[in-house]
């Protein structure tokens, strides 16, 4: 179907057929036009597994064909490994084809603005560079198989509370530098076949009806050439959405076809705009139909093994006092296992990404297999679910304490219950359930060698961290997560993960505290640019564990970083090189992180911002030179007056290290910036006139006759900050309103010439 003659078909479609094609045939399929041999394609939820609904027209999130449940984005992102993300994407592409799926609805590139967002497990990071690069790698992997992706949820969808109508009130710089930046990198680096717009409003306008968002930014600025699909039910006014740039309203909404027909017939929606949407639907069908009907065989064992590799790669070793981990054979055989999650895995989030796994590994079985013996086990706590808690927590805790007393290492599996993390609502708390915290405290009283293994989709507070010698953040590891955890604990595999989000000490420390989830259908993004680590660093707030942090079973040293500048202005590039050495006795991996600081700028800038990263695998004693090239965009900020990216000249600091707060080496570079000339108006200050290359010389003669002495520091400051239109009424000889108007006209003439 790649030879589908889109333009011919478009010319032969009736108006009614065109309108029908801009919505679905069912909840998950496109409309077929049999008389023109236009087939239907199937799309389905992702992004960490193929959730092909059964029956295909239904919305039962628990009924789906079996598929590999890979780790969620919280885990995959923590690997900081683009090659791994591509391989997982390839596997998902193969499984999509095997199920006849043309478009997999993912990945999610939304920023983790607040730790209580119920859907954080589906998103990669609090940082737009990391989120965008990971999403792009995932997209490339899936689409290498001819299956489309749907980058979501575009844009500024950072909470589940009131998500259908809440208006995200966010300033332009923050939009561009944080929330749109993640999507821009994914679009340009991954070239997704489709982008899914979100439910919410942005500064009062629904995303599905926002021409600036869907057409001006996405298509005209970023060069996106695919299809824009609504989130399911987000297209409230289809004529208005089509005019804005929304091509496909899902799910099937034939009842609103008459609205579109009427709008075309009365001229409020141009048929040209409708044709544009239909053309993109046909192009999507042409792009994906052949692959979706290829139906390859799936190697379930190989995909399970890949899921196991990915889960271990995304596991973050937060703490390891006295090198308690990894456990050798003797230590493992003397260990006991506590915690219901070891026996009953919490391995994925709830909602539309719920996957019917092909199989499921649990950590208890995997650890017993690794030990070659029946390790003692106690559930320790009950797990909250839809039906409430099942079990007597006091009795379960007492049993676990007796098991831990006198034992070797206690492997304590804790985490968030499934009911806490889901699409459609936000989390009720930052901490673990109280019954689990009491269990940890009781066990720590009788055994000091406690390893906490966490199962959760987003950050949890850890006031109990001092009671554990080691903390392993396993996130939601997918169907092979249990075996992956056993691999990490025993040292068969190194914990390869690094944090993609800051873990705060308290909820009250979070950047959006007080501005989440909003009220009266609005949420104010009052923290602005200071999202995640940018906030904690700017305010020098202590955190439990910083962005980028993660330990391994070996150590690394960094040599001096070198930074060389080439070019200037927007075209400037900075070549960065640093040598990393494995100084330990085991092979391992390090995530080398490059941050940029702009200490003197004309606008507020974060203390430092991640701009590049690389994962390096080294044998003991081995060294490797890692190189990066930073572009002008990596040094730029979005100018709030010029409404474009600007590279301001001056000194920049290049910092390299193992986390945002573990910076090992740095270099300072001098950059020649681009000429920045701000537009002038009657409201511009006198200082802005004087600093303007054209207006400055024209204004200076008038100041010689100023009635206010400009050598007086206080008075001169007042004059310099005053608006030109105000000064034109102050009685400066020869400088009146007409003079000001003539001056502005002359500046415009000379600037244009």
Question: CA nearest 116: which of 528, 431, 436, 433?
Answer: 431
Residues 6+ apart with CB under 8 A from 748: none
Token pair for 499? 């944090």
Sheet of strand 410-415, all strands in order from the earlier edge strand to the far edge: 316-320, 470-473, 450-455, 410-415, 336-338, 377-378
Three-class DSSP labels, 462-526: CCCHHHCCEEEECCCCCCCHHHHHHHHHHCCCCCCCCCCCCEECCHHHCCCCCCCCCECCEEECC
Contact 406, 449 (CB under 8 A): no
Residues 6+ apart with CB under 8 A from 459: 115, 120, 430, 501, 502, 503, 504
Q: How far is CA 149 from CA 48, 144, 193, 376, 388, in A?
A: 12, 11, 6, 45, 37
Cβ-defined contacts of 533-537 (< 8 Å, 24+): 533/126, 533/127, 533/502, 533/660, 534/606, 534/607, 534/609, 535/510, 535/511, 536/502, 536/504, 536/509, 536/511, 537/606, 537/607, 537/608, 537/660, 537/661
Question: Whats the size of the chain, residue-wise?
Answer: 753
For residue 441, count other CB atoms closer than 10 A to its CB: 12
Token pair for 477? 């590891």
Strand partners for 644: 639
Catalytic residue among 162, 231, 247, 537: 231
Question: CA nearest 382: which of 421, 433, 430?
Answer: 433
Phi-psi region of 42 (alpha: psi -120 to 50; beta: other; left: phi over 0): beta
Question: CA nearest 77: which of 20, 132, 146?
Answer: 132
Active site residue 231: yes
Q: How far is CA 113 from the centre of its chain?
A: 9
Three-class DSSP labels, 350-377: ECCCCCCECCCCCHHHHHHHHHCCCCCE
Active site (catalytic) residues: 231
């Amino acid at each position: 179907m790649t030879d589908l003659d889109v333009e011919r078909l478009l010319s032969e479609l009736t108006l009614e057929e065109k309108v029908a094609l801009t919505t679905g045939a069912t909840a998950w399929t496109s409309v077929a036009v049999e008389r023109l041999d236009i087939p239907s394609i199937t799309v389905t939820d992702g992004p960490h597994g193929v959730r092909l609904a059964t029956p295909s027209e239904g919305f039962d999130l628990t009924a789906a064909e079996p598929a590999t449940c890979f780790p969620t984005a919280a885990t995959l992102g923590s690997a900081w490994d683009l090659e791994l993300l591509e391989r997982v994407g390839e596997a998902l592409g193969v499984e999509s084809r095997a199920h006849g799926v043309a478009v997999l609805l993912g990945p999610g590139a939304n920023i983790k603005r607040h730790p209580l967002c119920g859907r954080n497990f589906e998103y990669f990071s609090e940082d737009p560079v990391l989120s965008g690069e990971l999403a792009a790698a995932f997209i490339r992997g899936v689409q290498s198989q001819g299956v489309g992706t749907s980058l979501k949820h575009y844009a500024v969808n950072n909470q589940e509370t009131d998500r259908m109508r809440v208006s995200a009130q966010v300033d332009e710089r923050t939009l561009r530098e944080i929330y749109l930046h993640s999507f821009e990198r994914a679009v340009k680096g991954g070239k997704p076949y489709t982008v899914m717009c979100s439910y919410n409003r942005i500064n009062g306008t629904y995303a599905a009806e926002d021409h600036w968002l869907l057409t001006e930014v996405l298509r005209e600025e970023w060069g996106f050439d695919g299809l824009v699909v609504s989130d399911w039910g987000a297209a409230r006014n289809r004529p208005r959405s089509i005019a804005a740039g929304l091509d496909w309203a899902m799910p099937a909404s034939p009842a609103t076809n008459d609205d579109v027909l009427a709008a075309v017939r009365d001229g409020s929606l141009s048929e040209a705009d409708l044709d544009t949407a239909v053309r993109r639907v046909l192009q999507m069908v042409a792009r994906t139909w052949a692959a979706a009907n290829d139906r390859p065989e799936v190697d379930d064992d190989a995909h399970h093994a890949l899921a196991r590799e990915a889960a271990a790669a995304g596991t973050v070793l937060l703490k390891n006092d006295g090198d308690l981990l990894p456990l050798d054979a003797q230590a493992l055989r003397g260990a006991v296992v506590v915690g219901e999650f070891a026996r009953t895995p919490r391995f994925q989030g709830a909602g539309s990404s719920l996957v019917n796994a092909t199989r499921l590994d649990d950590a208890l079985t995997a650890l017993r297999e690794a030990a070659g013996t029946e390790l003692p086990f106690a559930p320790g706590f009950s797990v909250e679910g839809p039906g409430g808690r099942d079990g007597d927590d006091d009795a379960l805790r007492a049993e676990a304490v007796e098991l831990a007393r006198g034992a070797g290492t206690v492997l304590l599996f804790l985490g968030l219950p499934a009911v806490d993390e889901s699409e459609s609502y936000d989390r009720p708390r930052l901490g673990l359930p109280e019954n689990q915290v009491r269990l940890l405290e009781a066990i720590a009283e009788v055994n000091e060698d406690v390893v906490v293994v966490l199962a959760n989709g987003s950050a949890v507070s850890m006031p109990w961290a001092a009671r554990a010698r080691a903390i392993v953040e396993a996130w939601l590891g997918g169907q092979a997560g249990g075996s992956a955890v056993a691999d990490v604990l025993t040292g068969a595999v190194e914990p390869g993960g690094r944090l993609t989000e800051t873990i705060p000490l308290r909820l009250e420390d979070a950047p959006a505290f007080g501005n989440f989830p909003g009220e009266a259908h609005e949420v104010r993004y009052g923290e602005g640019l200071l999202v995640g680590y940018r906030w904690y660093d700017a305010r020098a707030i202590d955190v439990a564990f910083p962005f980028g942090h993660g330990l391994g079973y070996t150590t690394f040293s960094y040599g001096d970083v070198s930074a060389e500048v080439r070019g200037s202005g927007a075209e400037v590039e900075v070549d960065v090189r640093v040598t990393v050495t494995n100084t330990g006795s085991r092979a391992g991996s390090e995530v080398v992180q490059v941050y940029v600081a702009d200490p003197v700028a004309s606008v507020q800038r974060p203390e430092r911002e991640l701009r590049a990263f690389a994962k390096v695998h080294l044998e003991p004693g081995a060294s490797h030179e890692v190189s990066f090239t930073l572009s002008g965009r990596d040094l730029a900020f979005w100018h709030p007056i010029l409404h474009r990216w600007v590279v301001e000249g001056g000194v920049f600091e290049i910092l390299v290290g193992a986390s945002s707060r573990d910076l090992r080496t740095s270099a300072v570079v001098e950059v020649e910036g681009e000429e920045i000339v701000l537009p002038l108006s009657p409201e511009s200050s006198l200082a802005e006139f004087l600093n303007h290359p054209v207006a400055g010389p024209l204004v200076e003669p008038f100041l010689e006759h100023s009635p206010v002495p400009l050598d007086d520091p206080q008075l001169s400051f007042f004059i310099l900050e005053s608006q030109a239109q105000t000064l034109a009424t102050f009685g400066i000889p020869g400088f009146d309103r007409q003079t000001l108007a003539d001056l502005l006209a002359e500046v415009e003439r000379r600037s244009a010439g």
